[in-house]
Amino acid sequence: MQESIVIKNLRKTYRMSKKQRQIEGTDNLVKVAVDGISFTTYKGEIFGLLGPNGAGKTTTLRCVATLIKPDSGEIFVEGINVKDEVDIKKRIAFLTNELKLEKMFTPNYLFDYFSSFYGIDSETAKKRKKFLFEKFGIDRFAEVKIGELSSGMQQKTSLAISLVNDPDVIIFDEPTNGLDVITAKTVTDFLLDLRNQGKSIIISTHIMNLVEKICDRVGFILNGKLVHTDSVRNVLETNPGKDIEDVFFDIYNEVNHEKH
């Protein structure tokens, strides 16, 4: 299989404010969010980063998306170092439910606006818009202001607009978080479609069931460290009678036991 994202010894720390130190109950000035993570994802697969809140999933994905810079380590996307920010951003889509759209504009306006930065010719952009808007059922609302759309429709618009550049790599932070069941199903079905088209997809989630349903491989992440990586099939086959959630807690208990 062809490599897509290659992460080597990624480390990222944050400086903590006094208030954060009080909340965390520590005197340390620095919090290690990601501590020497290495893994590779491949084209035509969905890789899931599974872990509890604060484990380092979002930080890892933000580093890949060039939103933040690693303290150390290397990241390559499609063979390009993430230091080449602009080149990387042309090839990826970073999606999260926290990414909002300006409420005063319409999906039509925003799609055209975002596509104008990717150097896509107008005919291709038009076709892409038609395809994505139909796929997510936005076409009927294309001229309605974002602020007047339902939250599910806003999320689908955000998703469609993030895919304006037909990216090779899709990075999705908590893809179904905050979505109603119907929108969540539309999103997961679309991710499977993209995977089948040979795209590389990496998602972060704390929903075990989602990993089992759509991911080809999974990485368990705890306290900023990647503690186990394997294909979902292997995880289930080597732990008969257990689902992903059971395996995750086995690993979690093992790590915590070692720690104490």
Partner 1 sequence: MRNIKGIFKKEIDKVFKFPRTIFTTLLLPGFIIFIVYFAIGQAVGSSLKKVQEHESIIYLIEAPQSFYDAAEVARNIPEFGKFTFQEKNLNDLDALKDEIKEGKADAVVVFDADFDNKISGNQKPQVRIYYDESFNNSSVALNRIQTILEIQKDDYLRDMEIDPNIFAYVGESVYEEDRSDGTFLAMILPILILSFIFSSAMGIGTDAIAGEKERGTLAKLLLLPIARNDIIIGKILSTTVLTILSALSSFLGIIASLPFLKTLFAMDGGTMEISYSAGDVLLLLGILVLLAALASTLLLLASTIARTVKEASAFATPLFIAVMVLPMMTMFSDKSSVSRGVYLIPIYNFIIVLKDLLSFNLDIVNYLLTAGSSLVVITALVLVLVKLFKSEKILYTQ
Nearer to partner 1, 145 or 228 (CB): 145
| Cross-strand pairs, 218 | 48, 230
- The residues of the shown chain that bind partner 1, judged by CB under 8 A, are 15, 65, 67-69, 85-87, 89-90, 94, 96, 98-105, 109, 113-114, 116-118, 158, 161-162, 165
Nearer to partner 1, 67 or 192 (CB): 67
Whether 166 and 160 have beta carbons less than 8 Å apart is answered as: no
Name the minimum Å distance from CB 86 to partner 1. 5
Q: Measured at the alpha carbon of residue 200, what is the angle toward residues 34 and 183, in degrees to the nearest 5? A: 90
Gap between the Cα atoms of 108 and 141, Å rounded: 9
| Cross-strand pairs, 209 | none
- Token pair recorded at residue 14: 């944050």
Nearer to partner 1, 78 or 212 (CB): 78
Gap between the Cα atoms of 76 and 84, Å rounded: 10
Nearer to partner 1, 69 or 140 (CB): 69
Name the minimum Å distance from CB 214 to partner 1. 23
Name the minimum Å distance from CB 188 to partner 1. 22
Name the minimum Å distance from CB 173 to partner 1. 11
DSSP line for 192-247: HHHHHTT-EEEEEES-HHHHHHH-SEEEEEETTEEEEEEEHHHHHHHSTT--HHHH
Q: Measured at the alpha carbon of residue 73, what is the angle toward residues 174 and 175, in degrees to the nearest 5? A: 5
Gap between the Cα atoms of 62 and 46, Å rounded: 17
Gap between the Cα atoms of 156 and 158, Å rounded: 5
Name the minimum Å distance from CB 236 to partner 1. 35
Name the minimum Å distance from CB 91 to partner 1. 9
Nearer to partner 1, 50 or 146 (CB): 146
Cβ count near 49 (within 10 Å) = 27
What DSSP element (H or E) covers 77?
Answer: strand 72-77
Nearer to partner 1, 4 or 106 (CB): 106
Name the minimum Å distance from CB 102 to partner 1. 5
Nearer to partner 1, 96 or 200 (CB): 96
